[in-house]
Amino acid sequence: MKFFVDTADVAAIRELNDLGMVDGVTTNPSLILKSGRDIIEVTREICAMVSGPVSAEVVATDARTMISEGLALAKIAPNIAIKVPLTWDGLTACKAFASEGRMVNVTLCFSAAQAILAAKAGASFVSPFVGRLDDNNHDGIQLIEDIRTIYDNYGFKTEILAASIRSVNHITDCARIGADVITAPPAVIKAMANHVLTDKGLEQFLKDWGKTGQKIN
């Protein structure tokens, strides 16, 4: 499973990238706002650091303007994945980009039916929002499982990019089901290393080592 980092914080991306934990990056207008930086400038810096896909999102709602904005974003770097919403206009833009061989991430997916449309339109990635579904009393992980089954039934090449990841359990559940990619905030990815028994075990080892009076070097 690929790990994408859901942030526009360059320092946080660099830390994980140096450890080999970054296969790509996703951004959106909210994350650009949080970064406080110009979208073109920060996206170009991220693309230079990360070799995998970097999703940059259009903000228009009509297909014609989406296509114009997407082409402008694609000029930033060769590894840009143009991000469009899962609306009819977004699907129209997706088809146009895919026909030119461009990477497209169709975002804001909340149903299996929507995911089928994204695949039919040639999306490189579809982004089901796990956490937001959970917030609204729906089962986000079940949606990932449903999409996996449907895509496997028909051989769709679109990759399932599980988004709105809120917890380590979300990541492990998506891995178990077979999501191709997860995108998560840096803090959630780093939390995967945490376990109370690891902490207790390390504490005991260090205590016992101290009693030996030895040094390794």
Q: Which residue has the tokens 């014609």?
A: 64
Annotated catalytic residues are: 83
Question: d(Cα 160, Cα 43) in Å, to the nearest integer?
Answer: 23
What does the block give as tokens for 202? 């390390």
Q: 200: which 2 tokens?
A: 């207790």
Residues 144/130, Cβ–Cβ less than 8 Å: yes
91 burial type by CB count under 10 A (0-12 exposed, 13-18 middle, 19+ buried): buried
